[in-house]
Structure 1
Amino acid sequence: MRNPIVRRRAWLAALAACAVACLGTAAPAQDRRQNAPGEFDFYVLALSWSPSYCEQASERGNAGRSQQIQCGGRPFSFVVHGLWPQYERGFPEYCQRPSPRLDRRIMNSMLDLMPAPGLIYNEWDKHGTCAGTPARDYFENIRRARAAVRIPPDFIDAKEPRTVTPAEVEEAFIKVNPGLSESAIAVICDRTRLTEVRICMSKDLQFRACAEVDRRACRRDRLEVPPVRGG
């Protein structure tokens, strides 16, 4: 009969080997480029449903300057959250530390699409520095990407609250954007509300599939769509 101590050591060694193998299988591979500016595969254009953002801010009692600008009198519907460089698996972030200082004039020029100065500065630091372009070119690409996406009519002047399915939101965008497919768009939600639509685009800002982004889409059956505020 084998010594109990020897058997226990063999069992622990086998358990450790299994743990290493299992972790290696489950954990996503680190992209070899590791946050090198300009080295990425595609973009995600993230469009935030502003009324949901404002409801969330109100519930948290958050009345900062950015919330006052976005949630004041102007009737914002979808606003740009960001244009995010992506790998096929994972994404780079904060690719230059410290990040190059963003010219205030560039920030001011983007307030019509991204109505919060803090958001614009943060997007440059976290995502823009990974694009591998000067700040002016990065934000011009945001403007070009946004111009390439048509917003469905039902979401432009949404005066009344309503309830939709994630599939209905996708279908509405696909209907008015030739070339956009289900594999290139993801609807994002919180516990009850539509919060964001994410559209995958190539480096030259053409619609393209993105399996990992699509896997992170909202799985709820129904979503509340708060009405556009102000106006």
Structure 2
Amino acid sequence: MNYLLLLVFSLFIHSSSATINFDYFMLAETWPPSFCQTKTCISAIPSKFSIHGLWPQNNSLPHPTQCKTTKKLVETMLKPLKPRIANVWPSLTGNNFGLWNHEWTVHGTCSTMAAFDYFKLTLDLYAKSNIKDLLQKKNITPGKGPINRKDIEDAIKVATGGLAPQLSCDQNSGNLLEVRLCFDTSTNPKYKNCSTNTNCPLNNVYLPL
């Protein structure tokens, strides 16, 4: 009996140690014209924000990465989602599956989700808001600048219920590289405040064509 209890306890400890805990999701969306000024893009440059990835995050460092490297991604897993993924989650450097596999290996394996569910959730969260449209409604359009960082944040808050996004900019040009939106970990994730840490200047942000 004591041996059986010890075995059950050992299995419980092993199972618990394998559980990945994180505090929230961060959806990173890239502005392709900015990205393609820093990298060599070999495909057509989209004129809308595209998905970079959905990242499980902790409130404090370190953030979880590469949690279950044995959970390999196979392209056929994504077949039902393929048209949606290719449209909004392209690799600007030319290897779509390479990008998706990287995001799954580094971040998706920390989500505690199956691959199909992780990618579907990413697509669904992306579809909740159109960042380019939100900016245009506030007269923030590509090619126009310089832009005040707070104006960008306030335009996006219209969709998030006043909750703050996180912005990332190229340090040399001031170009807006990414907008990051944060969500809680509920079964139907809701917007939450992102960390206000940003490398974007206050007054000289650009959204290139």
Alpha-carbon deviation of 1:163? 2.2
Structure 2 residue aligned with 1:126: 106
Q: Could you tell me how far 1:223 is from its partner in structure 2? A: 1.2
Runs of at least 5 residues in structure 2 that lack an aligned partner in the other structure: 1-16
Contact 2:143 2:206 in 1 (8 A): no
Structure 1 unaligned runs (5+)? 1-34
Does structure 1 residue 168 correspond to structure 2 residue 151?
Answer: yes
- Where in structure 2 are the equivalents of 1:93-108 lying within 5 Å? 93-104=65-76, 106=78, 108=82
Query: Judging changes above 3 Å, is the alpha-carbon distance between structure 1 residues 95 and 218 closer, same or farther for their aligned structure 2 residues?
Result: same
Give the deviation of 1:220 after TM superposition.
4.3
Aligned residues of 1:41 and 1:87 also touching (Cα < 8 A):
yes
Alignment match, 1:42: 24
- Find the aligned partners of 1:223 and 1:119 in 2 and give their Cα distance: 27
Q: Check conservation: 2:77, 2:116, Cα contact below 8 A.
A: no
Q: Distance in 2 between matches of 1:206 and 1:105?
A: 26
Deviation at 1:47, TM superposition (A): 0.9
User: Cα gap change, 1:103/1:123 in structure 2, threshold over 3 Å: closer, same or farther?
Assistant: same
| TM-align CA RMSD | 2.5
Query: Secondary structure of 1:215's partner?
Result: coil
C-alpha deviations, 1:1-44, integer Å up to 9, x for none? xxxxxxxxxxxxxxxxxxxxxxxxxxxxxxxxxx9554211100
Between the aligned residues of both structures, percent identity stands at 27
* Cα displacement (A) at 1:196: 0.6
1:87 aligns with 2:41: no
Task: Give the counterpart of 2:33 among 27, 32, 51.
Answer: 51
Q: Which residue is equivalent to 1:224? A: 206
| CA-to-aligned-CA distance 1:19-77 (integer Å, 9 cap, x gap) | xxxxxxxxxxxxxxxx95542111001111111011212xxxx3xxxx323xx1x6432
**Distance of 1:161 and 1:136 partners within structure 2:** 39
Q: Relative to structure 1, is the Cα distance of residues 149 and 45 closer, same or farther in structure 2, using a 3 angstrom cutoff?
A: same
Aligned residues between the structures: 177
Letter in 2 for 1:82: G
SS state of the match for residue 203, structure 1? coil
- Alpha-carbon offset, residue 165 of structure 1: 1.8
- The whole-number CA distance in structure 2 between the counterparts of 1:158 and 1:43 is 28
Task: Report which of the two structures shows the higher radius of gyration computed on alpha carbons.
Answer: 1
Letter paired with 2:161: G
Deviates more, 1:141-150 or 1:105-114: 105-114
Give the alignment's TM-score, normalised by structure 1: 0.68
Cα 1:87–1:150 shift into 2, 3 Å? same
